Amino acid sequence: MTSSILNTFDTWQTRLGKEKEVVKLLAEREAPAVVDLVFRKQSHNACVFQATLDGSSVFIKHYETDYGSTLTWKGVAETELVTAHMPPTAGGVAQVIWSSEPDGLVLMSQAVGTPVSDALSTGQADEVIADVATWLAGYVGPRTFTDTFSPSFWVKKRKGTEVSTLSPEDQTRAAQLIDLQKQRHARTGNMTALKGHLPKDFAPHNLHWTGDAIWGFDIEGYSTDPISRAIARFAVLAERRLPAEGMRRFGVHPICLNAFKGAFDLSGDHPELLPFLIADELLDSLFRRHDDPVAGPVIRRALDAHLES
């Protein structure tokens, strides 16, 4: 009991210290005057705070890493670039109000709407995912090109992952899926892929739905990957919110795959590219979330369905 109280106190003290640090930095840099600043969450490289500016809710991100200045300018530059070419009907991205590269600080507007991760559970998944696909196409814009994708790197990476923390059943699942990936690679070699500049953390929890458009936030620059990688990642994450009933394709709900294929011309992609990337995302999810009481069973169900497809 005493240990629990002390841990809670230490956590509160840490958060209070981080709030004071950011308030001090904002004042020293003569940033817009925010009030009611509170700590919200911490990731591996940053803390996020919520505050009020001129009566509106805003967010402040403070990178706590040696390359925070780089992440700051990349995020700001990407936000400006995407805003310039994103069709207004697709939605947009939360705007950067102020930033300080040396301090790794970004002050941004709040994204409007309902988190997509919640909207997927409302019975309107078809409309939500169609809008997400339109948003991603607008985000990427003209920044696409055809290239090759090498499966060998990912097969080696997943094969080399430490699996001792997995249950025997999950170790068997992982081994079976890795074997399937090796077979795919042996059949195909390098694969043709449509690639593009994609948001680095393209996930339901980083998108909001207004009912007819999508708004993204927490933009940290872009990654250059196959479009099908983004589709696979979103589809695997969406499984946690979509109904368990119904058919699956490669282990995920077909509405995800159909919506994104309607937004992009993927006719030049190798036919095995998307199933390979879905399998890779499933493996990554199993390794990272196997002990999650909510996500774990969903991942296992999807992985088993993939093996049976």
At residue 2, does pLDDT exceed 50? no
The pLDDT of residue 8: 55
At residue 172, does pLDDT exceed 90? yes
Residue 6: band (very low, low, confident or very high) from pLDDT cuts 50, 70, 90:
very low
Q: What is the DSSP letter of 95?
A: P
At residue 9, does pLDDT exceed 60? no
Tokens describing residue 54: 């001129």
The alpha carbon of residue 158 and the mean position of all alpha carbons in its chain are separated, in whole angstroms, by 20
The pLDDT of residue 200: 87
> 3-state class of 42 per DSSP?
strand
**Mean pLDDT computed over 151-168:** 92
Domains and CATH numbers, the chain: 2-109 (3.30.200.20), 114-308 (3.90.1200.10)
CA distance 37 to 19: 7
The pLDDT of residue 13: 84
Q: Please state the pTM of the whole predicted model.
A: 0.90
Say which amino acid occupies 260.
F
CA nearest to 89, candidates 32, 134, 156, 149: 134
DSSP letters along 223-281, please? Answer: EEEEHHHHHHHHHHHHTTTS-S-S--BTTB-HHHHHHHHHHS--TTS-TTHHHHHHHHH
Share of the chain above pLDDT 90, in %: 87
Q: H or E element: which one contains 156?
A: helix 151-159
